[in-house]
């Protein structure tokens, strides 16, 4: 069996970066400790050790390596990115009242909302401590800007998610904030710490931005057409939680008066009945919005790959190209 062909792109990247990633893992474990409050590492370990793909810190490492950096500060930046991500997951699960994450009960269920809010705050603070260590003003600005953009995207989502006036532009703003901002900051700081020139840094930003958007669109699409076993998500969770995502936004735009009344009742007013999910799926199929959403994801993937063009040839560059394809392979 040819492992090259059967290994997934993020696994090839992980193998290539394995030594670096071990150092990131060690730094994360070191910094999630707390002298006085043992609940902090307990809650953090529950998430950190749940077997996430660590895609975001890998992007930082990959960008730094591709631009010729050999360390050591990419380790701190990768750990910073993972801490920001973990903090937002803890807070998201409180905000969404989620009970499952990565196939396991959420921290807010196992402990309580209080612990999730406060341990999230601790991880944010730890992230900011870590990001100061390389001593680069530009890196600190990029990462603190990203943290603000993430929170802004999440707040915008709160008010936009159940409002049928939300159009594709607003959806894109939300996604750029809540998901793509950390992807693009992850790749951008990798280039900055490596001393890459402005055009390269801009390309890395554009790659992360487009990859993050594709990633989120795929996630939203899988919620309506995924295989629950493979994705760990149940079909229709977003519908039941009344989240206005891209497939529905496209269907609302094309809706007849009667169809619009259905979306008003189920999404805006949240008065859902048996059979509504099936009806929603029927409308998505009728207007072919799942295919249109898939096309959008593919277009963002193409954008991500094209952004890599300005970067020097490097084996990591090929892996990042493959990674962009992989992100949409779940819907191909």
Site string for a copy of itself, 16-45 (x = CB under 8 A): ------------------xxxxxxx-----
Residue of 20, 62, 122, 218 that binds a copy of itself (CB under 8 A): 122
Number of residues that bind a copy of itself (CB under 8 A): 46
SS3 91: helix
Least distance in Å: CB of 111 to a copy of itself? 9
Q: Where are the alpha helices (DSSP H) in the chain?
A: 3-6, 9-16, 18-31, 39-48, 55-66, 73-95, 107-110, 113-132, 137-160, 168-175, 181-193, 198-225, 228-231, 237-240, 246-253, 257-263, 276-286, 289-307, 315-329
Q: Is 7 in the site for a copy of itself (CB under 8 A)?
A: no
Q: Would you state the structure tokens that stand for residue 312, as one six-digit string? A: 């020097």
Q: How far is the CB of 69 from a copy of itself (least distance, A)?
A: 21
Q: Minimum CB separation from a copy of itself for residue 45, in Å?
A: 14
Query: Should residue 279 be labelled a site residue for a copy of itself when binding is judged by CB under 8 A?
Result: no
The token pair at 91 is 């807070």
Asked if 135 touches a copy of itself (CB under 8 A), the answer is yes
Is residue 121 at the binding interface for a copy of itself, with CB under 8 A as the rule?
yes
When the beta carbons of 84 and 222 are compared against a copy of itself, the nearer one is 84
Name residues whose C-beta falls within 8 Å of residue 86's C-beta, 6 or more positions apart in sequence. 44, 47, 48, 120, 123
Q: Does 110 bind a copy of itself (CB under 8 A)?
A: no
Site membership for a copy of itself, residue 98 (CB under 8 A)? no
Task: Enumerate the β-bridge partners of residue 105.
Answer: 100
Exactly one of 29, 98, 100, 128 binds a copy of itself (CB under 8 A); which one?
128
Q: Measured from the CB atom, is 157 or 200 closer to a copy of itself?
A: 157
Q: Is 100 in the site for a copy of itself (CB under 8 A)?
A: no
Q: 15 or 125: whose CB is closer to a copy of itself?
A: 125
Residue 75 CB, shortest distance to a copy of itself, in Å, is: 18
In terms of Cα–Cα distance, which of 30, 28, 10 is closest to 320?
10
Site stretch for a copy of itself (CB under 8 A), options 11-19, 153-161, 267-275, 286-294: 153-161
The whole-angstrom separation of Cα 239 and Cα 181 is: 25
Near a copy of itself by CB under 8 A: residue from 98, 100, 144, 225: 144
- DSSP letters, 4-49, are HHHS-HHHHHHHHTHHHHHHHHHHHHHHT--SS-THHHHHHHHHHT
Beta bridge partners of 210: none
Counting contacts by CB under 8 A, is residue 46 touching a copy of itself? Answer: no
Q: Which bin fits 148, alpha (ψ -120 to 50), beta or left (φ > 0)?
A: alpha
Are 330 and 222 contacting, i.e. CB atoms less than 8 angstroms apart?
yes
Residue 158 makes contact with a copy of itself by CB under 8 A: yes
Segment contacting a copy of itself by CB under 8 A, of 6-14, 154-162, 214-222, 302-310: 154-162
Report d(CA 54, CA 51) in Å as an integer. Answer: 8
Binding residues (CB under 8 A) for a copy of itself: these are 34-40, 87-88, 91, 94-95, 113-115, 117-122, 124-126, 128-129, 132, 135, 137, 140-141, 144-145, 147-148, 150-156, 158-159, 173, 177
């Amino acid at each position: 069996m040819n492992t090259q062909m059967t290994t997934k792109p993020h696994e090839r990247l992980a193998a290539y970066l394995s030594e670096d990633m071990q150092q990131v893992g060690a730094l994360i474990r070191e910094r999630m400790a707390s002298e006085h409050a043992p609940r902090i590492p307990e809650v953090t370990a529950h998430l950190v050790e749940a077997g996430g793909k660590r895609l975001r810190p890998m992007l930082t490492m990959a960008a730094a390596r591709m631009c010729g950096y050999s360390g050591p500060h990419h380790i701190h930046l990768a750990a910073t990115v993972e801490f920001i991500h973990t903090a937002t997951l803890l807070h998201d699960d409180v905000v969404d009242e989620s009970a499952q994450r990565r196939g396991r009960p959420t921290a807010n269920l196992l402990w309580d909302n209080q612990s999730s809010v406060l341990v999230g705050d601790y991880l944010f603070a730890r992230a900011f401590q870590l990001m100061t260590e390389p001593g680069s003003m530009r890196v600190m600005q990029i990462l603190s800007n990203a943290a603000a953009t993430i929170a802004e995207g999440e707040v915008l989502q709160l008010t936009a998610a159940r409002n049928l006036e939300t159009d594709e532009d607003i959806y894109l703003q939300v996604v750029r904030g809540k998901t793509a901002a950390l992807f693009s900051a992850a790749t951008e700081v990798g280039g900055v710490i490596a001393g890459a020139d402005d055009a390269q840094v801009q390309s890395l930003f554009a790659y992360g931005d487009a990859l993050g958007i594709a990633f989120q669109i795929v996630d939203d699409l899988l919620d309506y057409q995924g295989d629950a076993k493979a994705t760990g998500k149940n079909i229709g969770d977003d519908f039941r939680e009344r989240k206005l995502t891209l497939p529905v936004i496209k269907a609302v735009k094309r809706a007849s008066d009667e169809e619009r009344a259905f979306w008003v009742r189920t999404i805006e007013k949240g008065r859902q009945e048996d059979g509504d999910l099936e009806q929603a799926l029927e409308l998505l199929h009728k207007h072919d919005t799942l295919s249109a959403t898939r096309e959008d994801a593919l277009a963002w993937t193409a954008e991500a790959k094209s952004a890599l063009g300005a970067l020097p040839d490097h084996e990591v560059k090929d892996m990042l190209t493959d990674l962009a394809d992989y992100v949409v392979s779940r819907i191909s």
